[in-house]
Structure 1
Amino acid sequence: MTDPRPTHVVHELPVGARVVVRHRLADGSASDALGDLVAADAATLTVATRRGEVVVARADVLAAKPVPPPPARRGAPHTAVGVDDLERVMAEHWRPLERVDLGGWRLRAGGGFTGRANSALAVGDPGVPLPQALAAVQRFYAERGLPALVAVPHGAGGLGEGTGTADALAAAGWAVRTPTVVMTAATDDLPGRDDVPLPAGLHVVTTAVPDGAWLEQYHYQGSPTVPAAGRRILVSADEQVFVRVVDDGRTVAIARGSLSPGWAGVTAVETAPTHRRRGLGRRVLAEVADWARARGAASTYLQVQADNTGARALYAGQGFAVHHAYHYRVAPSA
């Protein structure tokens, strides 16, 4: 029987990512291998290109970087990207402390800080029959003292009924947790800081790492403090910015922006209850948009719980539209 244990731990460029690897040929010229990185070890990188797999010796690599996924359909990049590809993009903005691959699935652990960093991202083929894949997921999280969660992406509306993974999880008694929608926009279409003036007496501070004042305002799921694992995950993207609005020395609104090739992400948008309905949410979004534009990100995404109608209205008013949805499934024993 095939052992469904994950086959490798991922480091550096993430295996499964779309990359371009410029490498030296035997005659001294250079060539680019563009496609999915399907294997990486100490000696070689293997890229699945349109013409077949290309194995590149690390000694011959001149440059290598991740690139945005190809469009799944016609349209602007933020609408044309496929669901699975966008999920992989978003995963690079909120990297776990540990990631192990099971076929196309990503098993992620991050000390229990957020579902995004502590769930199995079910995209692609796990490489084994689904019951074996779910057993591997349960074993992975049991070994780390965490509940077994599977993140299930699907089209907007419903809970992915009619798809193999969602239906199998439902039949096995895995309960639904945190239905969420993913919204996207063309970065150039988003309002900037000049479009969203601050109320008199307030000012904005931006930093490359979260300072104490930013962390004090960040209350993920009501938690009063950010654990050490969370502080590491907050700075896990290729680049990030931490925005806060200050009123008389007190931080009253925050947001985090993050970057990957072609994409910006917005997370951790919060406004103090005393300062709501003053446009501060729109202003921190505008700050992230300007930061993203300056770095060439063509598209921006964010995630919001499906039942948070106020936040969804705010984001729609800024130009975001629903791209797809996802939810978590938690194992019956968790």
Structure 2
Amino acid sequence: MEFTIGGQLRVRITPADVGKRVSVRRVCETAPQGATFTDTVGVLTSWDDGVLSITPKSGESVHIPESALVAGKVVPAAPARRRGPAASFEELAPVCARAWQPVESEPLGDWLLRAARGFTRRANSVLPLGDPGVPLDEALGHVRQWYGERDLPAYIQTATGAEGTQELLCAELEERGWRREVTAEVRTAGLAPIGDRDADASRVRLSRDLDETWLSRYQRFETPGPHVLAVLRGGPSVWFASVPGDSPEAAPAAIGRCVVDGRWAGFMAVEVDPAQRRRGLASAVMTALAGKALEEGASAAWLQVETDNEGARALYEGMGFAVHHLYHHFWPA
């Protein structure tokens, strides 16, 4: 990260740059011996009373006194992408949302309130793709009331780390006492290389619907009621994959779900029997699903993986998936 001009560090940002992506260097009094400075890159979300607030892609704001600044500059709105299909956040966010359709929803301006009796936060949170049409505090009050009437916690799903994402909203939520509970990556890749992988997809069974056997491997709920089935079956074009277990009565050795939506194929619910991991079953499931998506005309792939799931992140990295942006769920602590 280069800040020097003629060998000198300079602060080239002002309060007028709030809302822009910046890179700053500051004195770090708590740094290890020999390390004097630390760098922060993110969106400048406020500059008040001598303190800067910067929200990096992690979604958690960093507060920096002006007196600690030694350098700063405005940087491009998003880092250059080196691999994966070109896609804007405005294109990809609705595609991801359509793969986890709620049982009921209600618009609030450009926000969408979604509920599915608590099954998966992605179908039980606000999708804030624009202006709510009312002042933020009024919108948040309506959100709390709407979810409270359904005996659900009020979550708002935000995104960071790409052009057009919601670092400003993250900072405003933090200022009002909302806290992050989950952070996950949205990763993208070309679809054809996944379909062409040297994986044994011959054991994989594909279906337009799921059954009790498939559900026995997908244990992300207490009781698979109608709301769970509605969410899993929802989407523009849905496929389910399974690798049979050792007996007809056994749970599948592996499962997966794919939602095809225009040029995009979303992969989710990829789970493998712990006793059969590291045998290529996850790759086989995704290869088989990718083949179906290619037949339907898709060319790009996406998936979501929580940042603390190191094993899955390593698998997807090896399959060519690169991070596009991060998303977070905030709730009023």
Report the Cα distance in structure 1 between the residues aligned to 2:199 and 2:214, rounded to whole angstroms. Answer: 21
Report the Cα distance in structure 2 between the residues aligned to 1:74 and 1:317, rounded to whole angstroms. Answer: 20
Report the Cα distance in structure 1 between the residues aligned to 2:271 and 2:309, rounded to whole angstroms. Answer: 13
Summarize deviations over 1:67-113 as a string: whole Å, max 9, x none: xxxxx999899643222331111111111011111111111011110
Report the Cα distance in structure 2 between the residues aligned to 1:163 and 1:74, rounded to whole angstroms. Answer: 18
Q: Secondary structure at the match of 1:153?
A: strand
Report the Cα distance in structure 1 between the residues aligned to 2:208 and 2:279, rounded to whole angstroms. Answer: 26
Larger C-alpha radius of gyration, 1 or 2? 2
Summarize deviations over 1:122-175 as a string: whole Å, max 9, x none: 22111222111111111110111110000011117xxx8x83210111111112
CA contact (8 A) 2:84 2:321 kept: no
Aligned to 1:33: none
Report the Cα distance in structure 1 between the residues aligned to 2:161 and 2:294, rounded to whole angstroms. Answer: 28
Aligned to 2:35: none
How has the CA–CA distance of structure 1 residues 325 and 74 changed in structure 2, closer, same or farther, with 3 Å as cutoff? closer
**AA paired with 1:137?**
V
1:60-139 matched pairs, under 5 angstroms: 79-139=85-145
1:150 aligns with 2:151: no
1:177 aligns with 2:150: no
1:234 aligns with 2:232: yes
**AA paired with 2:210?**
P
Aligned to 2:59: none
Aligned to 1:211: 211
**AA paired with 1:279?**
G
Q: Secondary structure at the match of 2:214?
A: helix
Q: Secondary structure at the match of 1:168?
A: helix
1:1-334 matched pairs, under 5 angstroms: 79-155=85-161, 163-192=167-196, 195-197=198-200, 203-220=203-220, 223=221, 225-249=223-247, 250=250, 251-332=252-333
CA contact (8 A) 1:123 1:153 kept: no
**Alpha-carbon shift at residue 227 of structure 1 (Å):** 2.6
**TM-score after normalising by structure 1:** 0.70
How has the CA–CA distance of structure 1 residues 73 and 88 changed in structure 2, closer, same or farther, with 3 Å as cutoff? farther
How has the CA–CA distance of structure 1 residues 272 and 287 changed in structure 2, closer, same or farther, with 3 Å as cutoff? same
Q: Secondary structure at the match of 1:255?
A: strand
**TM-score after normalising by structure 2:** 0.71
Identity %: 39
Q: Secondary structure at the match of 1:197?
A: coil
Which deviates more from structure 2 when the two are superposed, residues 145-154 or residues 126-135? 126-135
How has the CA–CA distance of structure 1 residues 321 and 285 changed in structure 2, closer, same or farther, with 3 Å as cutoff? same
Which deviates more from structure 2 when the two are superposed, residues 76-85 or residues 223-232? 76-85
Report the Cα distance in structure 2 between the residues aligned to 1:248 and 1:172, rounded to whole angstroms. Answer: 53
Report the Cα distance in structure 1 between the residues aligned to 2:192 and 2:148, rounded to whole angstroms. Answer: 44
**AA paired with 2:329?**
Y
**AA paired with 1:216?**
S
Report the Cα distance in structure 2 between the residues aligned to 1:273 and 1:76, rounded to whole angstroms. Answer: 34
Q: Secondary structure at the match of 1:124?
A: coil
Summarize deviations over 1:177-196 as a string: whole Å, max 9, x none: 1100000111122244x610
CA contact (8 A) 1:257 1:264 kept: yes
What stretches of structure 1 move > 6 A for 4+ residues in a row? 72-77
Report the Cα distance in structure 1 between the residues aligned to 2:124 and 2:285, rounded to whole angstroms. Answer: 27
Q: Secondary structure at the match of 1:111?
A: coil
